[in-house]
């Protein structure tokens, strides 16, 4: 397999009742569908029990005190190339990483992990995701010409359910700071006009500061943090927003025909990022509470309570493009179609653009000289 191809690794298999081939979850039909004979089959996965929205106790999880029904054991190994945690089934000991196509022959270990509670089923089919990616690629300046050819050929995309953490918390914050009020004073200054010094006035803004203190509260609901290290976070974060109200109770049927990654960002590590997000929002709230024209926060003490979390799987379409020996990856939000990714630059096109710019400048100079 070439580096720009990505092979699907199915974690759950559902044989077709008509021909025995593998069934796959079809986003448009919201059913399992056979890729060989097109037979469709309903499944029990409509998310009616509310499991997807069940919050778990954060401190209990950190202390390994979650009930056994909230945990599962998997046979996993870490991909040495991209860092993904790859799951193994049965007696399988050799496979390819579904995220970067690197061969994996390391003996897997047993890992106990928190079960996903919710899954957001794919809304976009592979064809529609490819259409969105093609539109995005067409807008790239100085991209290699064969990039469009790559998109038009309908290369296979990888459907991946990516792990995320969501965090809930009640924050109570005491602060001390200063409120700034702007005022203006008239200032005299000397300027030179027509070789002479003249006296002038101007309005200068100053700020009068007054000490303040106060208290703000905020409920944080579903702070979303990527729990994967195999995908480029600088792009996956930009796939937001996600409509988490569309989460369904986790069911293996939704995973049929796709890959599902085990989380590699631990719960506590993810919470560190969530705390930073919360603090940024709290500081915005404090500045609003201080009021005035300008604000200074000198001290901020925040207490978080009612800490809960969920482990959920969100759908992402992944494609790879190889250019001059390097692989570039594109990610598509499987719910909204939003596209982000790495992009190659065509050195030839850039050189031609620079050359064209030089020609235009030189031409303009020659024409100007000829007109003198």
CB contact burial 87-121 (16+ within 10 A = b; e otherwise): bbeeeeeebbbbbbbeebeeebeeeebbebbbbbb
Which residues are CB-contacts of 219 (< 8 A; sequence separation ≥ 6)?
Answer: 168, 169, 170, 171
Cα dihedral across residues 347, 353, 356, 358: positive or negative? negative
CA pair distance 85, 63, nearest whole angstrom: 23
Burial environment of residue 193 by CB neighbours within 10 A (0 to 12, 13 to 18, 19 or more): exposed
Q: Is the dihedral of CA 226, 158, 155, 5 positive or negative?
A: positive
DSSP string, 24-62: EEETTTTEEEETTT--EE--S----SSGGG--EEHHHHH
d(CA 328, CA 372): 52
* Residue 293 DSSP SS3: coil
d(C-alpha 166, C-alpha 118), whole Å: 11
Query: What is the helix, strand, coil percentage profile of the chain, to 5?
Result: 25, 40, 35
pLDDT of the chain along its 372 residues, tens only? 333 333 333 356 677 777 777 778 888 777 888 877 888 887 655 545 677 888 999 999 999 999 998 988 776 677 767 666 666 554 444 456 666 666 665 555 677 889 998 999 999 998 899 888 888 777 765 555 555 565 556 567 888 899 999 999 999 999 999 999 999 999 999 988 888 899 989 999 999 999 999 999 999 999 999 999 888 788 899 999 999 999 999 888 888 888 888 888 999 999 999 999 999 999 999 999 999 999 999 999 999 999 999 999 999 998 876 666 666 678 999 999 999 877 654 455 444 444 545 556 645 555 656 666
In the three-class reduction of DSSP (H, G, I as helix; E, B as strand; rest coil), residue 334 is classed as coil
Q: What is residue 237's DSSP assignment?
A: G
């Amino acid at each position: 397999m070439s580096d720009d191809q990505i092979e699907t690794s199915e974690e759950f298999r559902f044989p077709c009742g008509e021909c025995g081939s593998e069934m796959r979850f079809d986003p448009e039909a919201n059913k399992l569908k056979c890729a060989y004979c097109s037979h469709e089959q309903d499944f029990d996965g409509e998310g009616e029990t509310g499991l997807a929205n069940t919050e778990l106790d954060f401190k209990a999880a950190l202390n390994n005190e979650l009930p056994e029904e909230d945990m599962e054991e998997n046979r996993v190994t870490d991909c040495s190339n991209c860092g993904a945690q790859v799951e193994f089934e049965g007696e399988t000991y050799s496979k390819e990483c579904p995220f970067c196509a690197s061969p994996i022959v390391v003996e897997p270990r047993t890992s106990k992990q928190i079960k996903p509670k919710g899954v957001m089923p794919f809304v976009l089919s592979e064809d529609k995701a490819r259409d969105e990616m093609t539109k995005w690629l067409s807008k790239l300046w100085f991209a290699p010409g064969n990039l469009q050819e790559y998109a038009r050929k309908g290369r296979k995309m990888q459907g991946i359910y990516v792990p995320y953490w969501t965090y809930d918390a009640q924050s109570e914050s005491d602060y001390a700071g200063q409120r700034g009020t702007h005022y203006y004073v008239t200032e005299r200054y000397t300027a030179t006009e027509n070789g002479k010094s003249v006296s002038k006035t101007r309005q200068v803004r100053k700020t009068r500061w007054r000490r303040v203190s106060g208290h703000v509260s905020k409920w944080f609901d579903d702070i979303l943090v990527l729990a994967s290290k195999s995908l480029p976070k600088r792009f996956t974060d930009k796939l937001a927003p996600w409509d988490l109200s569309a989460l369904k109770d986790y069911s293996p049927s939704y995973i049929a025909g796709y890959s599902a990654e085990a989380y590699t960002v631990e719960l506590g590590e993810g919470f560190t990022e969530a705390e930073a997000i919360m603090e940024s929002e709290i500081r915005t709230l404090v500045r609003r509470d201080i009021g005035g024209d300008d604000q200074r926060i000198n001290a901020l003490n925040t207490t978080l309570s009612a800490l809960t979390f969920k482990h959920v799987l969100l759908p992402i379409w992944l494609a790879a493009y190889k250019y001059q020996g390097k692989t570039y990856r594109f990610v598509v939000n499987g719910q909204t179609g939003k596209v982000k990714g790495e992009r190659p630059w065509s050195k030839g096109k850039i050189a031609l653009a620079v050359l064209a710019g030089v020609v235009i400048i030189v031409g303009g100079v020659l024409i100007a000289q000829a007109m003198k």
